[in-house]
Amino acid sequence: MKNSLMYLYDKLLLRKRAVIESVNDELKNICQIEHTKHRSVDNFATNLVAGLIAYNLLPKKPSMNIEIIDKSRILG
């Protein structure tokens, strides 16, 4: 990546990329969010909402312990 000034919060999120990727993997594989052959918008929305509900009901979810920081005050 090209060097540029970033907010500290954004730098923290870049370090937590593995957690973000694992959430995406669980949504795609366990909750079956990704499906490309929907025939109507209603079927797509139903599948998406059902997958998100299934994800919320999972007993163990990956998490990040990030304290909310005022972005306007800190540049990294």
For the chain, domain boundaries? 1-76
Give the per-residue pLDDT at 13: 76
Which of 6, 7, 12 shows the shortest CA–CA distance to 66?
A: 12
Give the span between the Cα atoms of 47 and 35, in whole angstroms.
Answer: 8
At 71, the pLDDT band (50, 70, 90 cuts) reads low
User: What is the tens place of the pLDDT at every residue in 8-59?
Assistant: 878 777 777 887 788 888 888 777 777 677 788 888 888 888 888 888 888 8
pTM score of the predicted model? 0.54
Which of 3, 53, 14 shows the shortest CA–CA distance to 30?
A: 53
Give the per-residue pLDDT at 66: 62
Give the per-residue pLDDT at 21: 82
| CB burial readout 15-52, b (16+ within 10 A) else e | eeeeeeeeeeebbeeebebeeeeeeeeeeeeebbeebe
